C-alpha cells in the first residue's frame, strides 16, 4: 500500500514521542488521533497522559508556538489531559529527567519530525477569550460589571458543582488539614467575624458579597445587621432567595451595586472585603481605599482578604504579565490584577487606616483550590452540559493552576485587619489568643 500523508504524520509523531521517551523517561503517555497510545518513558504504568485528537493541533503549535495557542487547543480539546488533572501532571514532573532537557533533545530529529506538520494549513477554533475592552481604570471606561459578568454569571448550578453548600468562593480556613471543605469554609466565615469583633446590632458591610454566605453567617451567629453588594446577577438572585429561606429579611440586605456607588458614609461599624480586591485593578486602588474609609465610622474595623504576588524591584517589572498570568486575565478573570501585601498595607495607611494584623493563608488556599479542582473534575460531565466543554476544560486548568501557584509560593493570600485611624486606643484586645483558642 502506498504511503499516505496521514501515515507520514503518524510515523513522524511516533519518532518524536520515542525520542522524548528516551530523554524524559516519564510515567506518562501520548494518545494520538488514530487511537494509538505511545509511552513517554521506558516503563509506563500510569493512566495519566496527553491526547492529541487531531494533527491540526500540532500544526497550530509549530506554526505559532505561544502559550495562548496551547490554551486554546486545551480548551477545544484538540489537546487534552487524560487520566487526571493538571495537578497530577505537575506532580509527575519531579519524576522526570527534565534537568538539561533542551541540551539533550536532538534538534535535527525534532525538526524533521515536525516539518510535515508545519507544511499543513493550520485550523482555527472559536476563541474562549473575553472579547470586550479591558481598561485599567474607571476614568478610561473600565466596565466592572461586564468583567464580573464574564466570570461569575456562568450559572449558580455550575459553581455548586465544586463549592460547598454555602457557595463560598474564597479561600477556606482549615483548622486541620484533614478538615472537609464544608468544615473549612464554616471555620473561615467564623474567623472573619471574630477578627472583626462583630457585636449584636452592629452595621456590617460585605464588599463583593458573592452568594451571601458571609452576610448570612454574620447575622445568624453574631447578630449584626448585614448589607452586601455584588455586581453578579446570578449571585444576587441566589443571595436574595437564601435570605428569604433563612428568614433573615430583617437582618440582611443585598444590593446589585458597584462599591463606588454606596453612599452611606460613616454608617458601618465593620467592613469585610473577601476575595473582591483582585477585581478592582491597581489603577483604581486609591478610589477603592478612599471609599472604604468614607464608609467606616472612626475606629471601625476593616478586614482586607486578598491574593497577592511577590514584590519586584520596580512597578514596571511587577505589572509585566507572564504568559500564564495573561491567560488567566484573558480567559477566566478579565481585568483582574494582583498587588503585593506591602502595596495593600501601604494603600491602607495612605488612606487613613491603621494596620493591626496581617496573616498569611497561602497553604489554606492551595488546599481549597485542590479540593475545588477534584470536585469539578469529578463533575466535569455535568459541567459540560451547563457551560460547554471548552469552558469546563478552561476552568479545570484555572483551578488546578491556582492550586499549583499557591503550592509553589508563586502567589500568596493575606488577611489584613485595619481600623479607621483616630486618636486614642484601637479598642482591640491586648492579644489575639482568643482567635485561635
If asked whether residues 157 and 256 sit together in one domain, one would say yes
If asked whether residues 9 and 84 sit together in one domain, one would say yes
| 307 SS3 class | strand
Domain total of the chain: 2
Judged by average pLDDT, the poorest of 76-80, 148-152, 404-408 is 148-152
Q: Is 402 a catalytic residue?
A: yes
Q: Is residue 212 part of a domain?
A: yes
Q: Is residue 125 part of a domain?
A: no
If asked whether residues 405 and 275 sit together in one domain, one would say yes
If asked whether residues 111 and 198 sit together in one domain, one would say no
Count CA within 13 A, CB hemisphere, residue 315. 6
For residue 294, give the C-alpha cell: 468614607
Q: Rounded to whole angstroms, how far apart are CA atoms 234 and 384?
A: 19
What is the average pLDDT across 108-129? 89
Judged by average pLDDT, the poorest of 195-199, 236-240, 265-269, 393-397 is 265-269
Q: If you average pLDDT over every residue of the chain, what do you get?
A: 94
Over 60: is that where the pLDDT of 394 sits? yes
Helices within 296-336 (DSSP H only): 315-319, 323-327
If asked whether residues 166 and 113 sit together in one domain, one would say no
The residue out of 118, 153, 176 marking a domain boundary is: 118
Q: Is residue 127 part of a domain?
A: no
pLDDT per residue over 339-348, tens digit each?
999 999 999 9
The residue out of 84, 118, 152 marking a domain boundary is: 118
Q: In the block, which residue shows the cell 469583633?
A: 197
If asked whether residues 153 and 246 sit together in one domain, one would say yes
Domain of 393, CATH number, reads 3.40.50.150
Judged by average pLDDT, the poorest of 139-143, 148-152, 222-226, 273-277 is 139-143
**Annotated catalytic residue: which of 193, 209, 216, 402?**
402
What is the average pLDDT across 268-277? 97
Q: Is residue 123 part of a domain?
A: no
Q: Is residue 331 part of a domain?
A: yes
What is the average pLDDT across 108-113? 94
Q: How far, in Å, are 257, 355, 396 from residue 254 at the CA level?
A: 9, 28, 30
Q: Is residue 292 part of a domain?
A: yes
If asked whether residues 297 and 346 sit together in one domain, one would say yes
If asked whether residues 160 and 240 sit together in one domain, one would say yes
Over 50: is that where the pLDDT of 2 sits? no
* Residue 80, φ and ψ in degrees, nearest 5: -145, 165
If asked whether residues 43 and 156 sit together in one domain, one would say no
Over 50: is that where the pLDDT of 36 sits? yes
Q: What is the pLDDT of residue 3?
A: 53
Buried b (16+ CB within 10 A) or exposed e, 14-46: eebbebbbebbbbbbbbbbbeeeebbbbeebeb
Over 50: is that where the pLDDT of 137 sits? yes
What is the average pLDDT across 190-195? 98
Q: Is residue 130 part of a domain?
A: no
If asked whether residues 205 and 320 sit together in one domain, one would say yes
Over 80: is that where the pLDDT of 44 sits? yes
User: The whole model's pTM is what?
Assistant: 0.94
pLDDT tier for residue 315 given thresholds of 50, 70 and 90:
confident
Q: Rounded to whole angstroms, how far apart are CA atoms 201 and 178?
A: 35
If asked whether residues 352 and 407 sit together in one domain, one would say yes
Q: Which domain holds residue 49?
A: 5-118
Over 60: is that where the pLDDT of 358 sits? yes
Maximum CA extent, the chain: 92
Q: Is residue 182 part of a domain?
A: yes
Amino acid at each position: 500500500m502506498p504511503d499516505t500523508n496521514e501515515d507520514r504524520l503518524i510515523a513522524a509523531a511516533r519518532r518524536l514521542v520515542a525520542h522524548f521517551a528516551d530523554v524524559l523517561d516519564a510515567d506518562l503517555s501520548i494518545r494520538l488521533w488514530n487511537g494509538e497510545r505511545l509511552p513517554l518513558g521506558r516503563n509506563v504504568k500510569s493512566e495519566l497522559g496527553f491526547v492529541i485528537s487531531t494533527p491540526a493541533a500540532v500544526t497550530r503549535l509549530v506554526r505559532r508556538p505561544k502559550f495562548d495557542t496551547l490554551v486554546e487547543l486545551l480548551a477545544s480539546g484538540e489537546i487534552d489531559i487524560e487520566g487526571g488533572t493538571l495537578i497530577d501532571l505537575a506532580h509527575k514532573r519531579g519524576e522526570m529527567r527534565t534537568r538539561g532537557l533542551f541540551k539533550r533533545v536532538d534538534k535535527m530529529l525534532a525538526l524533521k519530525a515536525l516539518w510535515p506538520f508545519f507544511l499543513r494549513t493550520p485550523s482555527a477554533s472559536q476563541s474562549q477569550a473575553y472579547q470586550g475592552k479591558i481598561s485599567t481604570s474607571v476614568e478610561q471606561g473600565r466596565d466592572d460589571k461586564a468583567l464580573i459578568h464574564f466570570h461569575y454569571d456562568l450559572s449558580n448550578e455550575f459553581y455548586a458543582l465544586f463549592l460547598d453548600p454555602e457557595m463560598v468562593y474564597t479561600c477556606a480556613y482549615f483548622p486541620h488539614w484533614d478538615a472537609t471543605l464544608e468544615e473549612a469554609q464554616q471555620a473561615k466565615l467564623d474567623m472573619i467575624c471574630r477578627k472583626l469583633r462583630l457585636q449584636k446590632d452592629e452595621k456590617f458591610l460585605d464588599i463583593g458579597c458573592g452568594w451571601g454566605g458571609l452576610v448570612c453567617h454574620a447575622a445568624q451567629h453574631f447578630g449584626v445587621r448585614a448589607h452586601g453588594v455584588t455586581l453578579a446577577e446570578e449571585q444576587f438572585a441566589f443571595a436574595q432567595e437564601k435570605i428569604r429561606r433563612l428568614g433573615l429579611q430583617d437582618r440582611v440586605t443585598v444590593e446589585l451595586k458597584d462599591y463606588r456607588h454606596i453612599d452611606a458614609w460613616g454608617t458601618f461599624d465593620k467592613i469585610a472585603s473577601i476575595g473582591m480586591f483582585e477585581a478592582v485593578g491597581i489603577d483604581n486602588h486609591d478610589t477603592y481605599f478612599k471609599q472604604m474609609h468614607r464608609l467606616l465610622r472612626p475606629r471601625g474595623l476593616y478586614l482586607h482578604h486578598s491574593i497577592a504576588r511577590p514584590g519586584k524591584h520596580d512597578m514596571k517589572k511587577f505589572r509585566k504579565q507572564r504568559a500564564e498570568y495573561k491567560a488567566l486575565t484573558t480567559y477566566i478573570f478579565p481585568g483582574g490584577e494582583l498587588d503585593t501585601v506591602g502595596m495593600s498595607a501601604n494603600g491602607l495607611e495612605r488612606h487613613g487606616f491603621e494596620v493591626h494584623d496581617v496573616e498569611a493563608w497561602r497553604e489554606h488556599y492551595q488546599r481549597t483550590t485542590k479540593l475545588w479542582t477534584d470536585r469539578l473534575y469529578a463533575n466535569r460531565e455535568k459541567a459540560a452540559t451547563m457551560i460547554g466543554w471548552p469552558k469546563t476544560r478552561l476552568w479545570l486548568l484555572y483551578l488546578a493552576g491556582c492550586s499549583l501557584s499557591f503550592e509553589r509560593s508563586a502567589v500568596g493570600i493575606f488577611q489584613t485587619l485595619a481600623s479607621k485611624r483616630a486618636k486614642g486606643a484601637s479598642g482591640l484586645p491586648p492579644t489575639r489568643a482568643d482567635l485561635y483558642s
